[in-house]
Chains A and B, each alone.
Chain A
Amino acid sequence: MTLKAVVNNVAKMPASTDAVVDIQKLSLTFQTADGPVYALSDVDLTIERGDFVSFIGPSGCGKTTLLRVIADLEKATGGDISINGVSAQEARENRAYGYVFQAPALLPWRTIERNVTLPLEIMEISKEERIRRGHEALKLVELNGFEKKFPWQLSGGMQQRASIARALSFDADLLLMDEPFGALDEIVRDHLNEQLLKLWARTNKTVAFVTHSIPEAVYLSSKIVVMSPRPGRIIDVIKTDFPKDRGLDIRETPEFLEVAHRVREGLRAGHSYDE
């Protein structure tokens, strides 16, 4: 990040902290025919600049819903949320974040290049600039050379990488990822995790990452948010201090296993409370 950008961001920020996402007493209730469903209740969370935050918890704990609230794809029914000091809706309209969904969601009628540059096209950026940035984004996910292919000509892992490149193409500082590697096999997943970490270390982006894999959460994160279901709430926030350029081998260290243990304990506690 350039110095000017930092100064700008600080100037924009009303709070003294360097918080990208600031959530206070957030709750979300869906009204259904069977009565209200409490998807999120009383969530307090701060995501600092440069954090890699993982949300982990069993299905239905509201981790995806929380990410969608941050992205302004769902509206909170109570509490406050601010992104870069403004409301979630304003942040979305400012294109403050790139979102990676569970499925690649590439448009089948567009080539990989035109998929990756789709957000730039919507932002009405010139064609030369789009092509340049598209190339850069594809290079970041090691997909250069596949520009003219169609999505269905690529493997599942490559498609998901293309969707990450699309989220990176317009250089938003915040990256929201909803179980992006959930449908991929273990080996591809490890590889993409490594690449994601490298990317994070290189670009100093802020990442919010939803997963239900404990090793993935511990390996990737600087902060792990453990959640429990019905109503979705945060039961533990664990900070890790692995170096940014960690390798896959840290997964065998005692520190790693200790953190993983604490996450598992948290998840178990959340479950016993529920039953």
Chain B
Amino acid sequence: MKQVTGTHSVKLDKFCLVAATAALLSLIFPLTGIDAETGKQIAFVGDIPGLAIAMALCVIVGAAFTWLGVGKIQYAAIILAVAVFGCWQAVTALYDHGLAGHATSGFWLFILSLWAFVWRGIDVVARYRSLETAKQQSANILVPIAFGIWLLFVWEVIVAGFGVPQVLLPAPSAIGVRFINSTDTLAADFYQTFIKAVISGYVIGCGSAFIVAIAVDRVPFLKRGLLPLGNMVSALPIIGVAPIMVMWFGFDWQSKAAVIVIMTFFPMLVNTVTGLNAAGKLEKDLMATYASGYWSTLLRLRLPAAMPFIFNALKINSTLALIGAIVAEFFGTPIVGMGFRISTEVGRMNVDMVWAEIALAALAGTAFYGAVAFAERKATSWHPSFRVRRH
């Protein structure tokens, strides 16, 4: 945003105005509630110099940029730096100065001020355009990271500030501590659920669906007979199928892999069959003029043309597979596995462990999806959605 130097209209930066006003009010309003025993307020702004400095800084910087506008990326860096300092002081005040569970309007106004700064700062970074790839890429990476950290901060502050019981929602810091202290258990669960069940189920499910898709494409009666049947199998509820698979294949990872095979088979089958028909008539005629045989045409034209569809199925299945494995473990497992851990720790009210497993599942699922998406980028870089100019 550029400063407007008109005589009667100066355009103010609304977010910075909100930040400055909220910070100013936070200095005035009470920071905490009244202690039931002493009848006095637990803490004053004056008692916590770090927090007071952060609030004052927010007022000054907010006021300055209300007039200047946050047009430059350097300005955004300044307000984000102020916000980071503010967040640090807020957390310190919560845990070291007894605000946890007692925070009131003054504190929340300060959080509102930080929110306005972060919003404005990320907004500027998100709109940043540079011809230098390195700068552009760091800006692109910074946006989701900054946003993620901010969400974790808000979660932490709300849980601590309102004193939310841990059973309802543990703070991210508590989950992190639990995560780091239980890496052995988590690693064993990950190995059991992800490496053994998910990977094998995914490979068998997608691989067999791919082969069946080629057979379906080659043999017309299979297309009419097998596709509706596959549709029916995919519509089976996982909750109903999982215990049966456990009876068939035992408690170990094989039954989970079987559930994943059932879940992933149909999306892969349908997408591959559709993809095999994606090659245009013109290209098929072209192959006919070279008297290209069935396998030659399949390999050189139809499979490459089907790749975007196949990768679509692989991406869908990468998330389905993990869900399938975790849910299937609710119906009987050896005493290890992500689903097993979640179901038992919930029973013991160890909610932070449940959250640590959820975090692990989120990390593993994201990494899995990311790996498939990366392979897609490499394999179908010719596709219009990925084209990079290479002049």
Q: Chain A: residues with CB nearer than 8 A to chain B?
A: 71-73, 92-95, 97-99, 101, 103, 105, 107-109, 118-119, 121-123, 149-150, 152-153
A-contact 0/1 string along B256-300, CB 8 Å cutoff: 000000000000000000000000101101111111100010001
Contact residues in A for B283 (Cβ distance below 8 Å): 105, 107
Q: Which of B20-28, B92-100, B175-183, B379-387 contacts A (4 or more CB under 8 A)?
A: B379-387
Pair A101/B382 contact, Cβ less than 8 Å: no
Pair B291/A93 contact, Cβ less than 8 Å: yes
In the complex, B304 has a CB within 8 A of chain A: yes
In the complex, what residue of chain B is closest to A176 when comparing beta carbons?
B289
Pair A118/B300 contact, Cβ less than 8 Å: yes
Pair B290/A109 contact, Cβ less than 8 Å: no
Q: Known contacts A105-B282, A105-B283; is A153 also within 8 Å of B391 by CB?
A: yes
Q: Known contacts A150-B382, A153-B389; is A105 also within 8 Å of B286 by CB?
A: yes
Within 5-48 of B, Cβ neighbours of A (below 8 Å) are at: none
Q: Chain B: residues with CB nearer than 8 A to chain A?
A: 280, 282-283, 285-292, 296, 300-301, 304, 307, 380, 382-384, 387, 389-391
Which of B289, B300, B382, B387 is close to A92, meaning CB atoms less than 8 Å apart?
Answer: B289
In the complex, what residue of chain A is closest to B292 when comparing beta carbons?
A122
Q: How far is the CB of A14 from chain B (nearest CB, A)?
A: 23
Which of B280, B290, B301, B387 is close to A152, meaning CB atoms less than 8 Å apart?
Answer: B387
CA distance in complex: A153, B384 (Å): 11
CA distance in complex: A153, B382 (Å): 10
Which of A95, A103, A118, A121 is close to B291, meaning CB atoms less than 8 Å apart?
Answer: A95
Contact residues in A for B391 (Cβ distance below 8 Å): 153
CA distance in complex: A78, B380 (Å): 45
Contact residues in B for A101 (Cβ distance below 8 Å): 282, 285-286
Which of B282, B290, B380 is close to A122, meaning CB atoms less than 8 Å apart?
Answer: B290
Task: Determine chain A's interface SS by DSSP, over half rule.
Answer: loop
Q: How far is the CB of A159 from chain B (nearest CB, A)?
A: 13
CA distance in complex: A72, B289 (Å): 8
Q: How far is the CB of A80 from chain B (nearest CB, A)?
A: 21
Which 5 pairs from chain A and chain B are nearest by CB?
A: A109-B382, A99-B289, A108-B382, A119-B290, A93-B291
Q: Known contacts A108-B382, A118-B290; is A73 also within 8 Å of B285 by CB?
A: yes
In the complex, what residue of chain B is closest to A148 when comparing beta carbons?
B390
Which of A97, A108, A123, A150 is close to B289, meaning CB atoms less than 8 Å apart?
Answer: A97
CA distance in complex: A152, B287 (Å): 20
Contact residues in A for B290 (Cβ distance below 8 Å): 95, 118-119, 122-123
Q: How far is the CB of A103 from chain B (nearest CB, A)?
A: 6
Contact residues in B for A109 (Cβ distance below 8 Å): 304, 307, 380, 382
CA distance in complex: A121, B299 (Å): 12
Q: How far is the CB of A265 from chain B (nearest CB, A)?
A: 34
Contact residues in B for A94 (Cβ distance below 8 Å): 291
Pair A107/B288 contact, Cβ less than 8 Å: no
New A-B contacts (16) at CB < 8 Å, excluding given A73-B289, A105-B286, A149-B390 = A73-B288, A97-B289, A98-B289, A99-B289, A101-B282, A101-B286, A105-B282, A107-B300, A107-B304, A108-B382, A109-B304, A109-B307, A119-B290, A123-B290, A152-B387, A153-B390
Contact residues in B for A107 (Cβ distance below 8 Å): 283, 300-301, 304
CA distance in complex: A92, B291 (Å): 6
Q: How far is the CB of A75 from chain B (nearest CB, A)?
A: 12
Contact residues in B for A92 (Cβ distance below 8 Å): 288-289, 291
> Can you spell out 10 A-B residue pairs with CB atoms less than 8 angstroms apart?
A71-B289, A95-B291, A99-B285, A99-B286, A101-B285, A103-B282, A105-B280, A107-B301, A118-B290, A122-B300
Q: How far is the CB of B376 from chain A (nearest CB, A)?
A: 13
Contact residues in B for A93 (Cβ distance below 8 Å): 291
Most A-side CB within 10 Å, residue of B285, B289, B390, B391: B289
CA distance in complex: A231, B223 (Å): 38
Contact residues in B for A153 (Cβ distance below 8 Å): 389-391
Q: How far is the CB of B307 from chain A (nearest CB, A)?
A: 8
Q: How far is the CB of A160 from chain B (nearest CB, A)?
A: 13
Q: How far is the CB of B285 from chain A (nearest CB, A)?
A: 5
Contact residues in A for B291 (Cβ distance below 8 Å): 92-95, 122
Contact residues in A for B307 (Cβ distance below 8 Å): 109
Pair A122/B288 contact, Cβ less than 8 Å: no
Q: How far is the CB of B365 from chain A (nearest CB, A)?
A: 29
Contact residues in A for B280 (Cβ distance below 8 Å): 105
In the complex, what residue of chain B is closest to A103 when comparing beta carbons?
B282
Q: How far is the CB of B202 from chain A (nearest CB, A)?
A: 25
CA distance in complex: A42, B380 (Å): 48
In the complex, what residue of chain A is closest to B288 when comparing beta carbons?
A73
Contact residues in B for A150 (Cβ distance below 8 Å): 382, 390
Contact residues in A for B382 (Cβ distance below 8 Å): 108-109, 150, 152
